[in-house]
């Protein structure tokens, strides 16, 4: 390992080139992970089948995925190592490299709204929608007090119901109806349980007041009152690489973003790249990635046309500036975030103390990930960076082990043929015998 620079904060120069054991030696020496959490992160003391059996039904095992750390992140002035669980090569390397570029201008700035979720109640069979809407709004304070009684613990820490909204759906396949929104501050929880309990609790009152029938009672994953935003500046001079000039890279990134901003086919892929980073941290911290995905894509279509979640442009000095805004319903208490030992260790590793802080880190990783993809796409293309890691996976599939993985991968990249049949052929030529299972 080349360790000219000393590791500090989230900078661990040379980490990528270390072996697994050496990486751990470094983390231990630098005291970056507590002794108790080592096994939780390596997997040795992570989720047991017994714990899993209490989480879902019909458990017959657990399913490991790679967990890596993204380096170089500075979010709101704080250095942190970001755990990411992801099966796709290049994601962690991409995020880490972009975080390195961003830290030259102070890293990522991020902010979040209050952690307010929306619970929905569909009210059917109402004779007079306008009248029912008026009556429900007149009873707003009573409804809020009823919902508030459900969770005294949440109330005590400053959460609880905040507001009632009543929306009219004028035309649907079954005609018109009302939708009541209960706005609920869930503090450090993801909030699904609190919100679902609350909407079920107030539904009978809604029926009495409106004269209608409360049908669905469930939270909305379009959590557009629980928004996270990240911003970054990349100095113009840091954008140049190989034969690419800084202006060319910057303008290429802006042109790529403009494509996503104006075409849903491109926007879907562009946003998928953002979610590569977002989901990886959401999963590492035991949060509900389907909820986050649903919220992100619904938010991307909020204007009626599906578009980019991020924006890219340049400032007065010609630097590249980016931002990302999306709903992020993530928590640090309750559910898998507490039960899964690896998730708890991940939250601890980042030194996260609130759900809002977690969302601020996640949205920053999403922005870094988006930049990594656009920078590659706007210059040499995505395949080049992918090749080395892809070749390693092919080498492993062909049966290579230990140092042969790297040797075989390098040879295939050099030849420009990364295929399992070629990998097997090379192993045979080298007289390689894999160890027996």
**Interaction between residue 261 and ligand MEV (CB under 6 A):** no
Burial profile 180-204: b = 16 or more Cβ within 10 angstroms, e = fewer: bbbbbbbbbbbbbebbeebbebbbe
Cβ closer to ligand MEV: 281 or 355?
Answer: 281
Residue nearer to ligand MEV on the CB measure, 133 or 276: 276
CA pair distance 390, 411, nearest whole angstrom: 13
For residues 326-353, one letter each, b for 16 or more C-beta atoms within 10 angstroms of the residue's C-beta and e for the rest, the string is: bbbbbbbebbbbeebbbbbbbbbbbebe
**Active site (annotated) includes residue 168:** no
| CA 236, chain centre distance (Å) | 27
167-174 contact pairs (CB < 8 A, 24+): 168/129, 168/130, 168/133, 174/124
Taking the complex as a whole, the smallest distance from the CB of residue 70 to ligand MEV amounts, in Å, to: 15
Q: How far is the CB of 366 from ligand MEV (least distance, A)?
A: 12
Residues 6+ apart with CB under 8 A from 424: 398, 399
Cα–Cα dist 330/335, whole Å: 11
| Whether 288 is catalytic | yes
Catalytic residue among 135, 168, 181, 272: 272
CA-wise closest residue to 359 among 335, 387, 332, 338: 332
Residue 345 to residue 332: CA distance in whole angstroms? 11
Nearest approach in angstroms of CB 275 to ligand MEV is 9
CB nearer to ligand MEV: give 12 or 296. Answer: 296
Residue 351 and residue 331: Cα distance in Å, rounded? 14
3-state secondary structure of 205: helix
Binding to ligand MEV by CB under 6 A, coded x per residue (else -) over 372-401, reads -x---x----x-------------------
Q: Is 25 considered catalytic here?
A: no
261: which residues sit within 8 A by CB, 6+ positions away?
Answer: 267, 307, 308, 311
| Site string (42-81) toward ligand MEV, x via CB under 6 A | ----------------------------------------
Piece of 128-136, 162-170, 269-277, 404-412 that binds ligand MEV (CB under 6 A): 269-277
Q: How far is the CB of 390 from ligand MEV (least distance, A)?
A: 12
For ligand MEV, which residue of 213, 272, 390, 422 counts as binding (CB under 6 A)?
272
- Choose the binding region for ligand MEV from 58-66, 176-184, 239-247, 267-275 (rule: CB under 6 A): 267-275
Question: Is the Cβ of residue 46 or residue 310 nearer to ligand MEV in the bound state?
Answer: 310
Q: Which of 276, 308, 319, 364 is close enough to bind ligand MEV by CB under 6 A?
A: 276
**Per-residue tokens: 344:** 């708890």
**In angstroms, rounded to a whole number, what is the distance separating the alpha carbons of residues 177 and 128?**
10
Alpha helices, H only, 212-263: 246-262
**Residues near 420 by beta carbon (within 8 Å), at least 6 away in sequence:** 394, 397, 398
CB atoms within 10 A of CB 249: 22
Would you count residue 133 as binding ligand MEV (CB under 6 A)?
no
Binding of residue 277 to ligand MEV (CB under 6 A)? no
Catalytic residue among 88, 134, 401, 415: 88
Q: Which residue, 37, 40, 33, 35, is CA-closest to 12?
A: 33
Q: Are the C-beta atoms of residues 223 and 295 closer than 8 Å to each other? A: yes
Output the smallest distance, CB 269 to ligand MEV, in A.
4
Of the pair 94, 212, the CB lying nearest ligand MEV is at: 94
Select from 8, 269, 383, 397 the one that contacts ligand MEV (CB under 6 A).
Answer: 269
270 touches ligand MEV by CB under 6 A? yes
Segment contacting ligand MEV by CB under 6 A, of 65-73, 130-138, 271-279, 280-288: 271-279
Please tell me which residue in 188, 279, 288, 357 is annotated as part of the active site: 288
Could you confirm whether 88 is annotated as catalytic?
yes
Q: How many residues bind ligand MEV (CB under 6 A)?
A: 9
CB of 15 to ligand MEV, least distance (A): 22
Cα distances (angstroms) measured from residue 295 to each of 118, 220, 310: 12, 8, 15
Take residue 277 and report the two structure tokens written for it: 């980073």
Residue nearest to ligand MEV (CB): 273
Residue 58 — left, alpha, or beta (φ > 0 → left; ψ -120 to 50 → alpha)? Answer: left
Q: How far is the CB of 311 from ligand MEV (least distance, A)?
A: 14
Q: Does 273 engage in binding with ligand MEV (CB under 6 A)?
A: yes
Radius of gyration of the chain (CA): 25
* Beta carbon of residue 391, minimum distance to ligand MEV (angstroms, whole number): 17
- Catalytic residue, from 386, 390, 406, 410: name it: 386
**Catalytic residue numbers, as ranges:** 88, 272, 288, 386
Binding site for ligand MEV (CB under 6 A): 88, 269-270, 272-273, 276, 373, 377, 382
């Amino acid at each position: 390992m080349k360790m000219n620079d000393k590791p500090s904060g989230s900078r661990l120069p040379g980490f990528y080139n270390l072996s697994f054991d050496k990486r751990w030696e470094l983390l231990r020496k630098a005291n970056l992970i507590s002794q108790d959490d080592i096994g939780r992160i390596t997997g040795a003391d992570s989720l047991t089948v017994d714990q899993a059996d209490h989480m879902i039904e019909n458990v017959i095992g657990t399913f490991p995925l790679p967990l890596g750390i993204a380096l170089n992140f500075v979010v709101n002035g704080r250095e942190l190592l970001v755990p990411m669980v992801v099966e796709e090569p290049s994601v962690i390397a991409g995020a880490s490299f972009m975080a390195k570029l961003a830290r030259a201008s102070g890293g990522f700035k991020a902010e979040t709204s209050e952690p307010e979720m929306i619970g929905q109640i569909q009210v059917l069979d109402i004779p007079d929608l306008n009248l029912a809407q008026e009556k429900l709004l007149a009873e707003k304070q009573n409804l809020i007090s009823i919902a508030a009684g459900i969770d005294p613990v949440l109330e005590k820490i400053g959460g609880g119901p905040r507001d009632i909204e009543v929306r009219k759906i004028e035309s649907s396949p079954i005609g018109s109806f009302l939708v009541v929104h209960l706005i609920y501050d869930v503090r450090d929880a993801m909030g699904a349980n609190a919100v679902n309990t609350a909407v079920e609790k107030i539904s009978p009152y809604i029926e009495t007041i409106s004269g209608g029938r409360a049908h669905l009672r469930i939270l909305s994953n379009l959590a557009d009152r629980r928004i996270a935003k990240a911003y970054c500046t990349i100095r113009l001079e840091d954008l140049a690489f190989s034969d690419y000039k800084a202006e060319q890279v910057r303008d290429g990134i802006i042109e790529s973003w403009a494509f996503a901003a104006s075409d849903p086919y491109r926007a879907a892929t562009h946003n998928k790249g953002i979610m590569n980073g977002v989901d990886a941290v959401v999963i590492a911290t035991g949060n509900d990635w389907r909820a986050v995905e649903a919220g992100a894509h619904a938010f991307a279509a909020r204007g009626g046309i599906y578009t980019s979640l991020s924006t890219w442009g340049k400032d007065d000095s010609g630097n590249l500036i980016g931002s990302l805004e999306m709903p992020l319903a993530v928590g640090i208490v309750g559910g898998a975030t507490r039960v899964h030992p690896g998730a708890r260790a991940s939250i601890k590793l980042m030194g996260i103390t609130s759900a809002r802080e977690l969302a601020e880190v996640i949205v920053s990783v999403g922005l870094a990930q988006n930049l990594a993809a656009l920078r590659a796409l706007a210059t040499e293309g995505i395949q080049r960076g992918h090749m080395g890691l892809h070749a390693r996976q092919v080498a492993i599939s062909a049966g290579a082990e230990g140092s042969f993985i790297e040797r075989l991968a390098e040879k295939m990249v050099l030849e420009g043929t990364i295929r399992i049949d070629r990998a097997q052929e090379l192993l045979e030529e080298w007289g390689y015998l894999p160890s027996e299972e």
